[in-house]
Structure 1
């Protein structure tokens, strides 16, 4: 845990500069989420419904199984149409999603007609409380900077 604090501060500092200059890149978003993720786990409990999800480029996404529970899923390669998907489907067995066995499938009108599954390489639990606090700090810092420029 001590190792994550400097990483989280580094990510937050880097993103604070980027947040005010414009839209964050996928790499910056992924670094931010990585800074708030724990050590890899082999699987997580999943009952077929997500509370939400956030694409982080074509190789990773954050999924929310509950408002206070989320996971960073890094994929084994680029996932076609992940940034344009209106929804996703996650495979599971016995109400568990497992790294290296289960897939994410992008769904929706903006995706290809052939649905190509994207293998989940790693699963890392998110520190949701710290993640939300850092997001709030970044929004407040951006608002202060905008006010200073006005």
Structure 2
């Protein structure tokens, strides 16, 4: 019994810094994407979900194509979205994701979409490429 308690304490101590690092990283990523987020839209077209990234307890960036991205905010509570291993997006209107009707789905939860903001992904990529080039020139 003593070994189990010791193991639980060690595991908890190891998990706390990992959770803190994840929260810091997500906050940095959220700030980065918010710089390029545009005015909210009601819906966006999506045939399939190409990529996604959780950037907060209630925020996800989704890529329906390789060159388009959207910052989605869901209504709270959306428990453990920041630890989701996979997500889905409902599409109650044909081949569109709608802020009024659709949800982010994971771990048997449906988190209703509150807001959809397109990300100026071309500007984001151009700025990232400029930063990489400047860094390479500095070497």
Classify the secondary structure of the residue corresponding to 1:134: helix
The offset of 1:30, in angstroms, is: 1.4
For structure 2, list consecutive stretches of 5 or more residues without a partner in the other structure.
Answer: 1-20
| Normalised TM-score (structure 1) | 0.66
Please state if 1:101 is matched with 2:101: yes
Evaluate the alpha carbon distance shift between residue 142 and residue 74 of structure 1 in structure 2; reply closer, same or farther with a 3 A threshold: farther
* Correspondence list, 1:1-150, <5 A: 24-47=24-47, 49-93=48-92, 94-107=94-107, 115-137=108-130
Mapped partners of 1:101, 1:69: distance in 2: 21
| Normalised TM-score (structure 2) | 0.70
The offset of 1:81, in angstroms, is: 2.7
Stretch moving more, 118-127 or 132-141? 132-141
For structure 1, list consecutive stretches of 5 or more residues without a partner in the other structure.
Answer: 1-21, 108-114
Classify the secondary structure of the residue corresponding to 2:122: helix
The offset of 1:139, in angstroms, is: 5.6
Higher helix share: 2
Runs of 4 or more consecutive aligned structure 1 residues displaced over 6 Å after TM superposition: 140-145
Stretch moving more, 64-73 or 85-94? 85-94
Aligned length: 117
Alignment root-mean-square deviation, CA: 2.6
| Bigger Cα Rg | 2
Evaluate the alpha carbon distance shift between residue 135 and residue 75 of structure 1 in structure 2; reply closer, same or farther with a 3 A threshold: farther
